[in-house]
Structure 1
Amino acid sequence: MSTDVSRVAVVGDCPAYRYGLARVIDSAPDLEFAVGARSVAQAEGELASGDLLLLDLQEPPGALSATVSRLAARGVRVMVVYAAPPADIGEPIRAGARGCLSRQAGELELLAAIRLVVAGCRYISAVLAVGPRPCLAPPCRVTKREREILELVAVGETDHGIAVRLGISENTVHSHLDRLRDKIGSRRRADLTRFALSHDIVKG
């Protein structure tokens, strides 16, 4: 197995949703579904060796934050899944969660969010956030081709893969990415993904 594959565990109350997450995670070449369980205790054996835990437990906010805090203290990277916006989206983050994901998230958003959190970034689904959606830079004009490239970057495609899928040269991809980096004011690939998500370029 490639060392570049990230292992993702899922703990949640709903078997159908766990199954759906497993299917999407295993469809990505750089991700592996590690375990699906109804409780943290049932997934215990996989947590230490995993890269991310998606926590989808419908618990009272205080109890959920306590669970997140215990896991974070052990070095487990956690992203909390919500069926509806919580009263305080900051509570799980303060407890140590690396992100908050909506159950409404489509496949593209789910995979992009997982990759961002595994890479060390934070992620919060826009539908869960209170107030205006954050963005990394003032609004800027993005061409149709740049939008296509941003969407592929957000789902983890390589520069070579983007070139093949769009039928253009890899040098052309690099040129578009350079212009995009200038527009958003960052050279980091993870920031390109965040920009795509926050500007509805990736809708799932």
Structure 2
Amino acid sequence: MSGRVTVGVIEDHPLYRAAVARVLAEADDIELGAVAESVDEFATLAQPPGGVVVLDLKLRGVTDAAAVLRVAGMGHKVLVVSAHAGRAEVLGAISAGARGYLSKDADGDDILRAVREIAADRSYVSPVLASFVLDDDRERFAEPQATLSEREREVLAHVAAGERDQDIADMMAISVRTVRSYLDRIRDKTGRRRRPELTRLAIEQGIALPRS
């Protein structure tokens, strides 16, 4: 049928990956695209941009909001479906460019509904999680913006790209202890503690850029 939307899947759990792929393949208006267990593998499969990608957050390699940032940077519309649906994960993913977010409690019909909304250039967040986004919008108007040094911004950019502390140390030619000292200062200045929150901060301040 014409007008079908291509939908890929990035999920590292084999049974769940197969189940989601089957739900998508059986829908008349959807063409199953690339199916991969990691963002790096998905990148090698070259799904054409413009479609939807159902993305888990907790993956091998690039993970969390950094995974969303990279997949969105390839030109895809991202629907996160994750067992991790806390406030930090949801807000980090949405800030990184996800068009929708579901927990893994969602059934096949929920996933198809979200995919269709996102394919039509709308967003879809399950009602249970939508309150996080609304509360965050209110808080951001009242939150003063922290001033970070150039080195702190550089560390933050590497965090948003999904790099580990040791990788950051190697790239910046500093010790891991120094990297962690910078991260402690960033956390103290901003109140953002977890890595998804730091990635979101990098995106809000224009420090993180999508990587293809």
**TM-score relative to the length of structure 1:** 0.57
Bigger mean CA offset, 6-15 vs 68-77? 68-77
Q: Is 2:95 aligned against 1:100?
A: no
Q: Is 2:69 aligned against 1:69?
A: yes
**8 A contact 2:8–2:53 mirrored in 1:** yes
Q: Which residue of 1 aligns with 2:24?
A: 25
Shift of 1:74: 2.8
CA distance in 2, matches of 1:10, 1:50: 14
CA distance in 2, matches of 1:69, 1:84: 17
Structure 2: state its 5+ residue gaps.
Answer: 135-212
CA distance in 1, matches of 2:67, 2:96: 9
Please tell me the root mean square deviation across aligned C-alpha atoms, in Å: 2.6
Query: Which has a greater percent of helix?
Result: 2
CA distance in 2, matches of 1:52, 1:121: 12
Q: What do the CA deviations read for 1:96-128 (whole angstroms, capped 9, x no partner)?
A: 111111211112211111000010011112233
Higher relative contact order (CA 8 A, sep 6+): 2
Q: Is 2:124 aligned against 1:123?
A: yes
Q: Is 2:114 aligned against 1:113?
A: yes
Structure-to-structure mapping, 1:71-86, within 5 angstroms: 71-86=71-86
In structure 2, the CA distance between the partners of 1:24 and 1:81, relative to structure 1 (3 Å rule), is: same
**8 A contact 2:49–2:74 mirrored in 1:** no
3-state secondary structure, aligned to 2:80: strand
What's the % identity of the aligned pairs? Answer: 35
3-state secondary structure, aligned to 2:34: strand
Structure-to-structure mapping, 1:35-184, within 5 angstroms: 35-44=34-43, 45-49=45-49, 51-58=51-58, 63-88=63-88, 89-130=90-131
Shift of 1:22: 1.1
**8 A contact 1:11–1:55 mirrored in 2:** yes
**8 A contact 1:65–1:95 mirrored in 2:** yes
Aligned length: 132
CA distance in 1, matches of 2:124, 2:26: 21
In structure 2, the CA distance between the partners of 1:42 and 1:25, relative to structure 1 (3 Å rule), is: same
**8 A contact 1:10–1:18 mirrored in 2:** yes
Q: What do the CA deviations read for 1:25-45 (whole angstroms, capped 9, x no partner)?
A: 112100021122111121222
**8 A contact 2:38–2:59 mirrored in 1:** no
3-state secondary structure, aligned to 2:46: helix
**TM-score relative to the length of structure 2:** 0.55
Structure 1: state its 5+ residue gaps.
Answer: 134-204
Shift of 1:131: 6.4
